[in-house]
Structure 1
Amino acid sequence: MMLEPLLDAPLAIKIHVAAVVPAAILGAYLLMGRKGTPAHRLLGKIWLTLMVITALSSFFIHALNMVYGFSPIHLLSIYVLVASWQAIAAARRHDIVRHRRTVTGLYFGGIGIAGFFTLIPGRIMGKVIFSGDEILPIVVVGAIAAFLVRVALTRKRAARQLI
């Protein structure tokens, strides 16, 4: 791992990474932890704030300049902004099923899928994480996949216990 590509990146990318890394960790904790507690609500607000910062900062990143500086990944940023508002609205209405679906989609789509695509060779995070190592990409992708499966299974188990 080498941080030079990230340290040499534009400010928007640094802000984006500074928001999304803690959002990924905090989001996993929230998905696996106990729901409805005061701590869950506070950490959830922090997580959504990080997600909104991540989405907003992406509009200043134009590395994949396809259409006037934007790419299909920016559609995901719009989704994150809309879904963040929907997650808050559902929580305020005490619509827990809708809230759970929305934040799960935000986590797996906004962090999981988008994060996976940042690891494509030639992209900044791909350079940071893989930096020429032959086996590391396989280990990292495997660890991410295992982690996401674990989160999904934990959520299913928790949902069954609520019924």
Structure 2
Amino acid sequence: MNIEAFFQAPWHVQLHAGAAIAAVLLGAVQLIAPKGTLPHRQLGYVWVALMLTVAITAIFIRSGGSFSWIHIFVPLTLIGVASLILAARKGLVARHRGTVMGLYIGALMIPGAFSFLPGRLMHTVVTGG
């Protein structure tokens, strides 16, 4: 483990990774906790803020100064967040649930898995190399 690599990364990378980890953890809680309650709604707003932080900070993380294929998750996340909010406000529970699951898996878990590939920060942090 090399936590120092995390603290040596630029601040926007630290914010991105921290928000992503927090969104994964809070998302797991939200998925298993009772739905429709005040805490669910309040924590949902926090989760949305974390997702927006992850997406927006990703814009500033570039290899060689240009966007990579993984940046496709930025507009997908932004659209997904807007969609889940609209679905919740309209009372479209099934659509809200599906959008949240799609974001959790498609915008957090899948890109998160890529962050553990060799040469990426999380790989360095976890494996030390």
What's the TM-score bracket when you normalise by the shorter of the two chains?
over 0.9
| Residue pairs, 1:77-96, within 5 angstroms | 77-96=74-93
Q: 1:110 offset after TM fit, Å?
A: 1.0
Q: 1:121 offset after TM fit, Å?
A: 0.8
1 CA distance for matches of 2:109 and 2:80? 15
2:10 matches 1:13:
no
Structure 1, unmatched stretches of 5+, are 133-163
1 CA distance for matches of 2:17 and 2:127? 16
Give runs of ≥4 in structure 1 deviating > 6 Å.
none
Q: 1:2 offset after TM fit, Å?
A: 1.4
- Given candidates 103, 114, 121, the residue that maps to 1:124 is 121
In structure 2, give the amino acid aligned to 1:115.
Answer: G
2 CA distance for matches of 1:35 and 1:94? 12
Q: What is the aligned residue count? A: 129
Instruction: Output the TM-score relative to the length of structure 2.
Output: 0.96
1 CA distance for matches of 2:9 and 2:34? 37
Q: Identify the residue that residue 2 of structure 2 maps to in structure 1.
A: 2
Identity across the alignment (%) = 40
Q: 1:38 offset after TM fit, Å?
A: 0.4
Q: Identify the residue that residue 151 of structure 1 maps to in structure 2.
A: none
Q: Identify the residue that residue 28 of structure 2 maps to in structure 1.
A: 28
Structure 2, unmatched stretches of 5+, are none
Q: Identify the residue that residue 56 of structure 1 maps to in structure 2.
A: 56
Instruction: Output the TM-score relative to the length of structure 1.
Output: 0.76
2 CA distance for matches of 1:130 and 1:109? 24
1 CA distance for matches of 2:41 and 2:69? 32
